[in-house]
Structures are given as C-alpha cells and as structure tokens.
Amino acid sequence: MAELRIPRRSMLAFATLGLCGFSQQPLTPQYNPFHYVNNDPAWDQLNKATVTSDAAKGEYKATFPPELLQLEGSRFTISGFMLPLDPTPATLHFVLVRRNTACPFCPPNTPTEAIEVFSQDIVKYTGEQVTATGHIAMVSSSAEGLFYRLDRAHVVVG
C-alpha cells in the first residue's frame, strides 16, 4: 500500500483553515476605535489654541482665540482617558487626554489634547473613558506643556 504524503505547508494551511472555519470565537479581539481615541467635540474646540516653544526659557506658550477665552471660569464638560500623575490606584489629580496612552498604534496627544484635572472626589484609575465636568482655566505659559485646567471637577467613568 502506498503511503500518502502531504507537504508540510499544506498541512499548516489545512490546520489554520480548519481553526478559522470551525471556530466559534474570533481569533483576535474585536477592534473598538472608541477605546483608544475620544472624539468629543470639546477636543476640537481646545485644539484651536496655538502653541509655541521658547527653548531659551524652557517654556511652552499658548495663544487662545477669543472663543476659548470667553470659556474661562465657566463649567466645561469633556471626555477622554486618564493619564495618572502618581503611581497610586486612586487620585484627586490627573491629566485627561484625548488618546489612550496605552495604545501602541495611536499618535501622541498634542499639547492642546490634554487637560489637568483637579477632582472634588477621589477617582479610581481606569483605562476606560471618563467624563469630567468642572470650571475651565486657560494657562498661557507652562513648563509642563499643560494649557488647560479643570478645577472642582466631578468625574464619571464610562
């Protein structure tokens, strides 16, 4: 009786095809673009500021258009992702960014896509989206590159 020989590549293709064709679960998790980038229209509003750097002073400066300046001190709501400033599981102070910093494919956040948040209540760190509502302040000069601040904020996860 003759021995049936199947080339190794064919066996691999058959095994892979078999796994894909008969599996009840997807091989890779479902891609969720909303888990990495937040498209809250408030980010487009904040992106209207112009940022320049002064290398001699080691500072960044922001120029805000009149439509942003009139928001100064008003209640402002924005959604995004937490960027912790301390290695603790819960905090009152963090930076809210447009793009999740855990995303290896995402471009970095621009200086106008970050807002320093001072929460009224302790917030447990999460990699999910959060919504913060507080009083917005414009910061025209910053060594850290943070040009927006949300004071007395209330933060909701989800």
Smallest CA-to-CA distance from 78 within 106, 23, 25, 41 is with 41
**Predicted model pTM:** 0.76
Provide the 8-state DSSP code for 35. G
Domains of the chain and any CATH numbers: 33-157 (2.40.50.870)
Structure confidence by residue, pLDDT tens digits, 92-146: 999 999 998 888 888 888 889 999 999 999 999 998 899 999 999 999 988 888 9
The residue among 32 and 18 whose pLDDT is bigger is: 32
Q: Is the CB of residue 133 less than 8 Å from the CB of residue 146?
A: no
Burial class (CB in 10 A: 0-12, 13-18, 19+), 101: middle
Per-residue confidence at 54, pLDDT binned at 50, 70, 90?
confident
